[in-house]
């Protein structure tokens, strides 16, 4: 019997790749048993159980402070306790391989597996390595990277494999027709411009979009979709009530984002790892406004790399106002050649079979003799 244990948490950017790997493994090996180590109160504790048929274990762990702090002493103690707890779970579940997809919760699980001689793989989604990836890279059997640029940050890894982000595999299976239908757009040729600052929204994007509404009115041939984030929705909806226009749709959240993205002409949004995987898998041009509030400023590194490849335009938050953003949006609506070139560049970077490639690696290091 094949068994795989996954660990990753904190944000959806770590959790969804793990679940994509789980689905790909299950597709190739229907009888596989899957377990997951997360935290009791983390986002993974709500998302993973909904997947069904995954045994969910929990440890107590917290991230390191980047400044010198006595709190880091407590973090080290919790890490060691979580390693011991993870070893108990590993002895109980007996996995053939342990996979970490980032977030500090994956550290003790993967490190415990290494100490017990269980094959290990970690997957890094961003250009700049997270602290957990940096720590684990010297111990694991394989480190899989989503973006080639990450390789320059790795020096002590046993084996580096450029797989792409497994989220891409699921996005390329999305249905553009369903995406348009969910937005109530009947015209299959009408371009869709999607503004989205993430599940909680982004203040700077929201403010710019609000000021751009008069310009949107002048383009009835384009359908604008504005995702505010659930926190901001009621306030923003009331602000634009009087200016409501037929080609503007305001939503708090989009649950079928892959379908909508597959129907989208241009995305304006943040530069998280999952977003990059989706953009490159679909060959979708973008204007990226990286969040400056994330660890290692990794979103700026993501966005800058995509821009250097010709697949995106980056605007820093300090540059993101209505005038600058509308200029870029309008240019890409009107300049079909530039839009096509960006689409081609994004497609060249895509790894639509990332999940299958990761399963190939797991088969090599753990499943080949099982």
- Give the residue numbers of the binding site for UDP-N-acetyl-alpha-D-glucosamine: 11-13, 126, 199, 254, 299
User: What is the CA angle 63-6-158, rounded to 5?
Assistant: 80
Radius of gyration of the chain (CA): 21
Say if CB 280 and CB 274 are below 8 A apart. no
Say if CB 288 and CB 315 are below 8 A apart. yes
User: Which residue from 128, 158, 127, 126 is spatially nearest to 143, judged by alpha carbons?
Assistant: 158
DSSP summary character for residue 310: T
Collapse the DSSP code of 94 into the 3-class scheme (helix H, G, I; strand E, B; otherwise coil) and give the result. Answer: coil
Q: Which residues contact 304 (CB under 8 A, 6 or more apart)?
A: 314
Which residues contribute to the annotated binding site? Answer: 11-13, 126, 199, 254, 299
Helix (H) or strand (E) holding 277: helix 273-282
Tokens coding 315: 């605007």
Phi (first) and psi of residue 35, to 5 degrees? -130, 165
Taking the CB of residue 31, how many other CB atoms lie within 10 A of it?
7
């Amino acid at each position: 019997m094949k068994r795989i244990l996954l660990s990753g948490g904190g944000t959806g950017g770590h959790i969804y790749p793990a679940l994509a790997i789980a689905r790909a493994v299950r597709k190739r090996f229907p009888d596989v048993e899957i377990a997951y180590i997360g935290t009791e109160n983390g986002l993974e504790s709500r998302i993973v159980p909904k997947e069904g048929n995954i045994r969910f274990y929990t440890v107590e762990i917290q991230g390191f402070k980047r400044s010198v702090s006595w709190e880091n002493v407590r973090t080290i103690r919790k890490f060691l306790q979580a390693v011991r707890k993870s070893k108990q779970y590993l002895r109980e579940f007996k996995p053939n391989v342990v996979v970490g997809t980032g977030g500090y919760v994956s550290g003790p699980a993967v490190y415990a597996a290494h100490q017990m001689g269980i094959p290990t793989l970690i997957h890094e989604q961003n250009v700049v390595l997270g602290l957990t990836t940096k720590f684990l890279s010297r111990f694991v059997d394989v480190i899989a990277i989503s973006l080639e640029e990450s390789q320059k940050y790795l020096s002590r890894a046993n084996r580096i494999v450029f797989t792409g982000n497994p989220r891409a595999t699921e996005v390329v299976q999305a249905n553009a027709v369903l995406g348009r239908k969910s937005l109530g757009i009947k015209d299959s040729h009408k371009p869709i411009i999607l503004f989205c600052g993430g599940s909680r929204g982004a203040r700077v994007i929201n403010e710019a979009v609000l000021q751009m509404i008069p310009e949107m009115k002048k383009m009835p041939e384009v359908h604008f979709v504005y995702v505010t984030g659930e926190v901001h929705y009621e306030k923003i909806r009331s602000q634009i009530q009087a200016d409501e226009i037929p080609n503007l749709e305001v939503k708090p959240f989009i649950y079928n984002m892959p379908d909508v993205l597959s129907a989208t002409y241009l995305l304006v949004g943040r530069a998280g790892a999952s977003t990059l995987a989706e953009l490159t898998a679909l060959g979708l041009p973008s204007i990226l406004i990286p969040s400056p509030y994330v660890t290692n400023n990794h979103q700026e590194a993501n966005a800058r790399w995509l821009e250097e490849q010709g697949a995106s335009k980056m605007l820093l938050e300090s540059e993101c106002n209505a005038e600058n953003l509308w200029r870029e949006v309008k240019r890409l609506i009107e300049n079909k050649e530039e839009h096509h070139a960006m689409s081609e560049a994004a497609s060249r970077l895509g790894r639509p079979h990332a999940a299958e490639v990761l399963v190939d690696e797991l088969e090599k290091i753990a499943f080949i003799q099982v």
